[in-house]
Homo-oligomer: A and B are copies of this chain.
């Protein structure tokens, strides 16, 4: 039996995407220089958690923030609280929203909320989609960027229009900012400016930022104080969350300013891939550090070709490949620090080799 593709990727010296291996050294690196006598947080209290929450509240321009072990927990709770406040059980979001497809229906099963899916799976939803809902909703969730369609972003004007519409209609607007920092260069705006359009905001620390895990939910003081009760109900009010908090702060400081660089890498590579036979990226021109690449070939063929490039150049161009059907497959490419580590000439040759192999199909 041949080696699984994931193992072949791991054996490559270089990867085009990501921030390096998610190994235990990541945690050790974050903790270098931290005084071992620093007190743990204790059930949401203590400087190590509260200082970081204050820093994030400030960064996101909200009154308060609370650190969560996961975005799944933070966002279900946000949806639940807005629904309770409005006395409505319905919330709207994109058909490929994380809450809809990746959480085993937690929001529905634990909180008895219903979802209204806006627009269609293959594009961003628009204000027209929102206006076409003919029933009252408590909240609208917008994910910036929309991960499952290659990290697409609405224009800033479109966001403003939706925000005003929601305020006018009494719909609470929540930002799924799992990759918010990654989206900022496109808007040319600060996190605070973007977040000012939203009533509540969630951000994550382990996507482009490269932390271990963890999330922050930010909003008004009352909202966040109530979120802490829900965090306890969900089993997220751990005695110690500092392993995630310290790595979140370390990696936020390290990578927040690099998002434009990651985006530029994504643009360059997408442009190169789009020139290859049988390859198409979504979006055509990336608007943040990520995109999806679609290949007119089977998963097996794509893996074999990528493997041959790894064997020759020690560079993994794509680290994940999933089948769409027997003849097509796709990959998600998210750029981080790893790209810059590859010698320029080797990368050029590896991409040329990829193009050559594709042209022979």
Contact in complex: B104, A232 (CB < 8 Å): yes
Of residues 230 through 258 on chain A, the ones whose CB sits less than 8 Å from some CB of chain B are: 230, 232-244, 246
CB distance from A80 to the nearest CB of B (A): 9
Given A243-B212, A243-B243, A106 and B24 contact (CB-CB distance below 8 Å): no
Contact in complex: B233, A109 (CB < 8 Å): yes
Query: From A229, which residue of chain B is reached at the shortest CB distance?
Result: B104
A106 to B241, CA, bound (A): 20
A35 to B212, CA, bound (A): 17
Segment of A67-75, A307-315, A340-348 in the binding face? A67-75
CB distance from A12 to the nearest CB of B (A): 15
A23 interface contact, C-beta 8 A: yes
CB distance from A20 to the nearest CB of B (A): 11
A246 to B244, CA, bound (A): 14
Contact in complex: B25, A238 (CB < 8 Å): no
Q: Count A-side interface residues using an 8 Å CB cutoff.
A: 52
Of residues 213 through 238 on chain A, the ones whose CB sits less than 8 Å from some CB of chain B are: 213, 229-230, 232-238
Within 8 Å CB of A25, what residues of B? 36-37
A361 interface contact, C-beta 8 A: no
Q: Tell which of B22, B28, B70 touches A31, judged by Cβ atoms closer than 8 Å.
A: B28
Segment of A38-46, A163-171, A279-287, A352-360 in the binding face? A38-46
Contact in complex: A42, B22 (CB < 8 Å): yes
Within 8 Å CB of A229, what residues of B? 104
Other A-B pairs, 18, CB within 8 Å; known A104-B230, A106-B232: A22-B39, A23-B40, A24-B34, A24-B36, A24-B38, A24-B48, A24-B242, A24-B246, A70-B238, A72-B234, A76-B235, A103-B232, A104-B232, A105-B233, A110-B110, A212-B239, A213-B240, A243-B243
Q: Offer 26 A-B interface pairs, CB within 8 angstroms, sorted by A.
A: A22-B39, A22-B240, A23-B37, A23-B38, A23-B39, A24-B34, A24-B35, A24-B39, A27-B31, A27-B242, A27-B243, A31-B31, A40-B212, A69-B235, A70-B237, A72-B232, A72-B234, A73-B234, A103-B232, A103-B235, A105-B233, A109-B233, A110-B110, A206-B239, A234-B235, A236-B236
